[in-house]
Amino acid sequence: MFIFDRRTLLPFVFALATAAGACQSSSTPAAAPAAAASASPDVWATVDGREVRREAIEKVYRRSLQPGQTPSEEEALTAKLNLLEQAILDDLIIARAKALNIQLPDADVDAAYNEGKKNLPEDAFNKELAARNLTAADMREEVRKDLTAQKVMERDVTSKVAVTDKDVNDFYDANKAQFNLTEDAFHLAQIVITAQRDQQIANRTGDDAATPQAATQKAQMLMEKLKAGTPFPELAMDFSEDPNSAPRGGDVGLVSVSALNQAPKALRDTVMKLEPGNVNIVGMEGGYTIVALVAKQAKGQRDLSSPEVKNGITTTLRDRREQLLRTAYLSAIRNKANVVNLLARRIVDGQGALPPTLAPTAPK
C-alpha cells in the first residue's frame, strides 16, 4: 500500500510489498446500501462500485506477520480492519490517477525497480520474495502503483504547499528562544544498524540486519558506499534501523555538549574527534552506529542569516503544512466517494462476536 508521507522517489520493496494486491478490484456496478447485507462474504468493501475482496486483505495480513507472532482473533481482525481502510484509500488514489490520465513509462518503472533491489544479492532478493509469497511481477506492479500514487500526491498536495519569507520570519520571531544555544552543540546524523530483528522498520527498503554477522556485513557495505560517494542521507533513508531519524535522512539535529557527555564513551569520543563533513563508525551493543558530524555550533543566539536556521524553519513549516493538507485531502476524497465497509458492518452487526464467515482462511 502506498506511503503518502515520503517525498522520495521510491519507498521500496518490502515495506511496500506487504500490500501487494490489496487494491485489486473488479468493475462490479455499485451496490445499493440495502443490498450490502446480502453481498458475498468474500467482498469486504466496495469503493464506487469496485470490490475490495477478502483474499487480498488476508494476503496482506499474512505477509505483515512477524515470525512467531500469534495474535488473538480479535487482534487479527483489528489489524485487518486497518489494512482494509488503507486499501480503500489506495483504490481511490489509483482512480484519481486514471482521472488525471497519469501514466508511467515502463522504463521509469524498470529503473525504479532495479534501483530498489540493487543493494540486495539476487538470491537474497528471490528468497525474500518467496518467503512473502510474492513474485517479481508482483513487485514490479507495486512499484508502478507506488510511483503513480506519488505522482497524484505531488500534483494534488505537494505542489500546493508554499512557505514565504514572511512565514519564516514570523516563526523565528515567535520562537527565538529555541535558537539560542546555552552551550556548544554538534549537529549530528546517524545510520543505526542493530544485531537483532526489529518489530518495525522505517527505512525505505525494509532492510533489517537480524544477526551480528548480518550487522557487520551491512556496516561494511554502507561504509564502502559512503567512500564511493553515495550521499549519507540517501543511505540513512534506505538502510538505517532507527525509526526516528531514518525518515529524516539520519538527521539527529543539534546535540549539546552536556547531552553528548551522557552518550556511550565510544560514541562520545568518536564525535569529539570528528571534523564537520566527516563520518566514522562505532560498535554499539552488537551492532553499529555510523555517525556523521554535519556542523559544530557555538553557543549563543543564532539568527536568520544562518542558512541552517532559515532552511530548518522552511523545512519544518513545509512539512507541517504538507502533512495537514495530505490528511485533509485523503479524508476529502474518501468522503466524496461511495464507500461501503462491509467488514466493519458485519462486525458491528455481530455485537462483538466474530461472524462464522470471518473465520481465518487457510494460507494460499
Q: Quick check: helix, strand or coil at residue 303?
A: coil
Where b means 16+ CB within 10 Å and e means fewer, 76-87 reads bbebbeebbbbb
The predicted structure's pLDDT at residue 162: 95
Q: DSSP labels for 140-193?
A: HHHHHHHHHHHHHHHHHTGGG----HHHHHHHHHHTGGGGEESS-EEEEEEEEE
Q: How many CB atoms lie within 10 A of CB 203?
A: 24
Determine the pLDDT at residue 283. 94
What's the pLDDT at 116? 73
Low-confidence ranges of the chain (pLDDT < 50): 1-35, 362-364
Indicate yes or no: pTM above 0.75: no
**DSSP at 197:** -
The confidence score (pLDDT) of residue 307 equals 86
**Residue 241, Cβ density class (10 Å: 0-12 exposed, 13-18 middle, ≥19 buried):** buried
pLDDT on residue 66? 65
Q: Which domains does the chain have, with CATH numbers?
A: 14-158+326-358 (1.10.4030.10), 183-298 (3.10.50.40)
Is 191:258 a contact under the CB 8 Å cutoff?
no
pLDDT, residue 357, reads 60
Strands 50-53 and 339-341: unpaired
pLDDT at residue 17 in the model: 44
pLDDT of residue 50: 95
